[in-house]
Amino acid sequence: MQNRELRVVFMGTPAFAVASLRALLRPQEDPGPAARVVGVFTQPDRPAGRHGVVTPSPVKEEALAAGIPVFQPERLRSPEGFAMLESAAPDLIVVAAYAHILPRRVLELPRYGCLNVHASLLPLYRGASPISTAIMDGQTRSGVSIILMEAGLDTGPVLTQASLPIRDDDTTASLTEKLAQLGARELAAIIGPWVEGRIEARPQDEALATMTRPLRKEDGRIQWRWPAWKIARRTRAMFPWPGAFTSLNGTILKVLAAEVLSPASPAALAPGLIAQVGGEPVVGTGEGALRLTRIQPAGRKAMSGAEWLRGTPAALGSVLEDRT
């Protein structure tokens, strides 16, 4: 590679991946071969929002702004999808939350393989929802791993890892942004050493591996028989999508932020029963009580719990429902 640039294809879709793409576009700190992003692969434009407006991915918008060719095949396994990739003639493929499993012939195409920026400390939390699941599990640290991809899902050997603490008030949104920036820094530092053979990838310990699955909308439904600490974690993990929610008199009520009531309420509250402490709504759970600090009623804007309670005084003494 001494005499020519490193041709890089980037694959990614959501906002998490944008930081890694930007890292590839910045001048390199490591004195390795000059890298140039020759193409970006991202998911096709999809309907988004309440009105279903067809919207490009954040990665597509970033690539177009930088003047990089964008490819959006429905499937890389199709002859058309692979032909798009082959025409870019990549020396290296970098993947960050692309939402496609790469077939073997794609993995074998670039000279320096395919690197994946994954938002966990592998082999922990492989799969689709590592950030949300770490918050739900009450982990105190998370991180990023850059791996050399192979046929298995997030099973490839690790080139580098970096970690950071999970704060008690971190949501999936806030932690995603922190890990995106951390992954971008690690990626920028690793490209040169990797292609010049200065890094040896180390295998993951399969005995420690854990898996996550894609989140579903129903994962956001609060079960009030759970302990307060579990609901508080779930609320943070489900923000911004699918959002934690419950039902009051058959109408959806989104719980955007909540915290365990401390000290505990003076009298035990039945699961789902709404009371108030200091003008704020407090709800009984299977263990302890939960203060609802930010709420969004159906069809209305988000508001503080206190504001909601002032406008809905009849809610006191009602029971929030586990089902609509």
DSSP 247-264: EETTEEEEEEEEEE-SSP
Query: CATH number for the domain including 160?
Result: 3.40.50.170
pLDDT score at 48: 85
Instruction: Out of 212, 228, 262, pick the residue that ends a domain.
Output: 212
Residues 208 and 166 in one domain: yes
The runs of H, that is alpha helices, within the chain are 15-25, 58-65, 79-88, 104-107, 130-136, 172-195, 228-237, 305-311
Residues 63, 40 contacting (CB under 8 angstroms): yes
Q: Is residue 21 part of a domain?
A: yes
Query: CATH number for the domain including 282?
Result: 3.10.25.10
Strand 126-127 and strand 46-48: the pairing is unpaired
Residues 132, 121 contacting (CB under 8 angstroms): no
Q: Determine the residue type at 227.
A: P
Total tally of structural domains belonging to the chain? 2
Residues 167 and 303 in one domain: no
Residues 133 and 261 in one domain: no
Instruction: Out of 161, 180, 212, pick the residue that ends a domain.
Output: 212
Which residue in 305, 229, 304, 296 sits closest to 261, CA to CA?
Answer: 229
Q: How many CB atoms lie within 10 A of CB 36?
A: 14
Largest CA distance in the chain: 75
Residues 6+ apart with CB under 8 A from 108: none
Q: Is residue 20 part of a domain?
A: yes
Residues 78 and 180 in one domain: yes
Instruction: Out of 152, 179, 212, pick the residue that ends a domain.
Output: 212
The predicted-structure confidence for 153-211, as pLDDT tens digits, reads as follows 999 999 999 999 999 999 999 999 999 999 999 999 999 999 999 999 999 999 999 99
Q: Is residue 256 part of a domain?
A: yes
* Residues 277, 283, 287, 293, CA torsion sign: negative
Residues 86 and 175 in one domain: yes
pLDDT score at 2: 52
Residues 55 and 189 in one domain: yes
Domain enclosing residue 256, as ranges? 217-315
pLDDT score at 324: 54
* CA gap 67, 147 in Å, rounded: 28
pLDDT score at 262: 83
**Separation in Å, CA 229 to CA 189, 225, 244:** 38, 11, 14
Residues 6+ apart with CB under 8 A from 299: none
Whole-model pTM above 0.85? yes
Residues 95 and 192 in one domain: yes
Cis before residue 297, ω within 30 degrees of 0?
Answer: no
Instruction: Write out the chain's pLDDT in tens, 324 residues.
Output: 455 789 999 999 999 999 999 999 987 665 567 889 999 999 999 998 778 899 999 999 999 999 999 999 998 889 999 999 999 999 999 999 998 889 999 999 999 999 999 999 999 999 999 999 999 999 999 999 999 999 999 999 999 999 999 999 999 999 999 999 999 999 999 999 999 999 999 999 999 999 999 999 999 999 999 999 999 999 999 999 999 999 999 999 999 999 999 876 656 899 999 999 999 999 999 999 999 999 999 999 999 999 999 999 999 999 999 875
